[in-house]
Every structure is written in C-alpha cells, then in structure tokens.
Amino acid sequence: MTVEDLAKNSSLTLLTEGLDLSTEITKPFCCDLLSIAMGKAPAGACWVTVTVNTNTLAVATLTDVACIIFAEGSAVDPALIEKANEEEIPLFKTELSEFDAALLAHTA
C-alpha cells in the first residue's frame, strides 16, 4: 500500500499539498511518546499519533516514516503543515481513534 492508496480513504483528510505520495507503507505504527517513536518507528511506517508539534515532524523526518496520521480529531497548526510541506512528510488528520486509523494502513 502506498501513501496515495491510503489517501483515497474517506476517513482521512490529507493536509499537505503537492508531495510525492508514491512511498510504500511498510506498516502502521502507533505511538505518542516521541522518545519511544525515535527509537522504534520503523522506516516507511505510517505513524499514527495524537502528539502534534514540530518535534513530531523532526522525529518523522529522522526516522524516515512514510507519513503521519494525526488521530482523534487533533488540531493541527497551519505552520506545522507548512513545515511538513518543506520537509516532504505527508500529513493526514482524522476523527478516528489511533487504533482504527492504524487499521487503515494495515494490509496483512
């Protein structure tokens, strides 16, 4: 499943614009503690979290995740979306819980 395939899901809103969505998603990864995500987020993961700040983006960039889903209707600051466009990390938001959002990226 690519990020583009994931983006077709009506429960998700793609926040970033004009980014390459052809990245293959390796697996979903749920985590709200950045310290743990830093060590454990698999490369190419679809990272589902409710931790919304610029450090989330930094961790996403450094761990090479494919995209981020902000779950539970988390509010996302426009400045953060702009930064994600610069860093080329596709961002989604959803009203779904982390578990339900992660299921969308689960293909096994």
Partner 1 sequence: MADVLEFTYEVSGEDFTRAGEASSDVKRKLKKLGVSPDVIRRVSIALYEGEINMVIHAHGGKITIQISEDAITMILDDRGPGIPDIEKAMTAGYSTAPDKVRNLGFGAGMGLPNMKKNTDSIDIETKLGVGTKVKMVIKL
Give residues in contact with partner 1 (CB under 8 A): 32-39, 43, 51, 53-56, 58-59, 61-64, 87
Cβ proximity to partner 1: between 72 and 87 the closer is: 87
Distance CA 4, CA 20 (A): 9
Q: Which residues contact 48 (CB under 8 A, 6 or more apart)?
A: 28, 29, 30, 68, 69, 71, 98, 101, 102, 105
What is the closest distance, in whole angstroms, from the C-beta atom of residue 88 to partner 1 in the complex? 12
Cβ proximity to partner 1: between 33 and 103 the closer is: 33
Cβ proximity to partner 1: between 7 and 27 the closer is: 27
